[in-house]
Amino acid sequence: MADQGARDQLTPVTVLFVDISGSTTLYAERGDAAAFTLTKRCLDVVGAEIRAAGGRVLRQMGDGVLAVFDSAVAALRAAIEVGRATESPTGTLAREGVRVRSGLSAGHAVFADGDVYGDVANVAARLVGLAAAGEIFLSDSVYEALPAELRDQVQVLEHLALRNRPDPVLVYTYVPDAVRATIKARERLPASAVTMELTYEDVEFVIGPQRPRLRMGRDADNDVRVDAEVVSRHHADITLHGDRFTLRDHSTNGTYVCAENAQPLRVMRDELVLAGAGRIMLGGMETARPIFYRVAVR
């Protein structure tokens, strides 16, 4: 009965995240007052276009807007109109170099206290983080809900691993009529061709298409548990993005990486692409046993 009650709370929805690209740089270069004025003007335009397309703005947070739609078509059209309004060469925003990016995902979500919760919202947030200025990224769930005339304006990108999500998502990007789409190259490594093999205390782990993310830290819920005081509870993770393995540090003391025939590097609340083979030390060079890694192409 509890499961049925939880399912009854779920509502089909398309979530749209719109974010100002490079807002940190905007504040640093223009100053707080000028940047705030431009940010507010931009988000006002974004909100107006969303409402005109039939969407509901649930939240405006800093430099972004979270909105929901009853249909994927309306959400994509809103994102397109937001792009047109902010990129218009006659408008103040374009002249000032203020640009936005968008991420859309469709599925079932929980609505509570005027906000939306669930995987669909998380995926939309991750997609907008991957998009560059002027881009609109869509999940496969949005693409599947589009009619043929809109699908013709959408191009598949790749299965991408999203941060804090166990399974990769097939991501698409909207291509305006006036822009020639980049032809999808056939020459690429098969997804199954690249793996990373890791060893810690005689236990082996493999990161690949079947397991695109591995978490490391002191807590028991990590894939690789390193029980040392200098190691944070959720210290770092390694994620497969396309054909690259990216280490991301979330810790207090940093993560040290020593690739073969190279000087050690300290990663602190930042990312590093791992290649070849080497050692990973959580929290310090000598205070924890190393995690050995090797990238294998088959």
Each residue's pLDDT tens digit, 17-61: 999 998 888 899 889 999 999 999 999 999 999 999 999 999 988
Alpha-carbon gap, residue 226 to 255, rounded angstroms: 12
Alpha-carbon gap, residue 100 to 77, rounded angstroms: 15
pTM for the full predicted model: 0.68
Range of the domain at 65: 10-174
Residue 183 placed within a domain? no
Domain ends where: 174, 204, 234? 174
pLDDT (average), residues 256-282? 94
HSE-CB for 128 with a 13 A CA cutoff: 26
Same structural domain for residues 255 and 132? no
Highest mean pLDDT among 16-30, 71-85, 149-163: 71-85
- Three-state DSSP at 227 gives coil
Same structural domain for residues 239 and 206? yes
Domain ends where: 104, 139, 174? 174
pLDDT category at 170 given cuts 50, 70, 90 is confident
Per-residue pLDDT, 257 = 96
Alpha-carbon gap, residue 264 to 266, rounded angstroms: 7
- Judge whether residue 110 has pLDDT over 60: yes
Q: What is the mean pLDDT of the chain?
A: 88
Question: Degrees (nearest 5) of the Cα angle 177, 12, 46?
Answer: 45
Handedness of CA 25, 138, 170, 119 (dihedral sign): positive
User: Contact, 135 vs 102, CB < 8 A?
Assistant: yes
Q: Give the bridge partners for 240, in sequence order.
A: 245
Same structural domain for residues 206 and 99? no
Same structural domain for residues 144 and 199? no
- Three-state DSSP at 293 gives strand
Same structural domain for residues 87 and 224? no
Same structural domain for residues 209 and 242? yes
Q: Give the bridge partners for 13, in sequence order.
A: 107
Same structural domain for residues 152 and 43? yes
- Judge whether residue 80 has pLDDT over 50: yes
Residue 252 placed within a domain? yes
Each residue's pLDDT tens digit, 186-227: 565 555 578 999 999 989 999 988 888 899 999 999 999 999
CA-CA-CA-CA dihedral for 86, 89, 91, 96, to nearest 10: 80
Task: Supply the angle between the helices 32-52 and 72-87 in degrees, to the nearest 10.
Answer: 140
pLDDT category at 2 given cuts 50, 70, 90 is very low
Residue 23 placed within a domain? yes
Residue 276 placed within a domain? yes
- Judge whether residue 123 has pLDDT over 80: yes
- Judge whether residue 86 has pLDDT over 90: yes
Cα–Cα nearest to 279, from 266, 265, 293, 289: 293
Highest mean pLDDT among 82-91, 101-110, 240-249: 101-110
When comparing pLDDT for 297 and 215, which is higher?
215
Per-residue pLDDT, 72 = 96
pLDDT category at 5 given cuts 50, 70, 90 is very low
Same structural domain for residues 253 and 219? yes
Same structural domain for residues 128 and 196? no
Residue 43 placed within a domain? yes
pLDDT category at 4 given cuts 50, 70, 90 is very low
Same structural domain for residues 127 and 235? no
Residue 245 placed within a domain? yes
Residue 98 placed within a domain? yes
Per-residue pLDDT, 6 = 47
Residue 186 placed within a domain? no
Please count the structural domains in the chain: 2
Same structural domain for residues 116 and 221? no
User: Which CATH number fits the domain that encloses residue 234?
Assistant: 2.60.200.20
Alpha-carbon gap, residue 112 to 67, rounded angstroms: 14
Domain ends where: 132, 148, 174? 174
Q: Percentage of the chain with pLDDT > 90?
A: 64
pLDDT (average), residues 108-134? 90
Alpha-carbon gap, residue 182 to 11, rounded angstroms: 36
pLDDT (average), residues 82-101? 91
Same structural domain for residues 165 and 215? no
- Judge whether residue 229 has pLDDT over 70: yes
Each residue's pLDDT tens digit, 53-77: 999 999 988 889 999 999 999 999 9
User: Which CATH number fits the domain that encloses residue 48?
Assistant: 3.30.70.1230
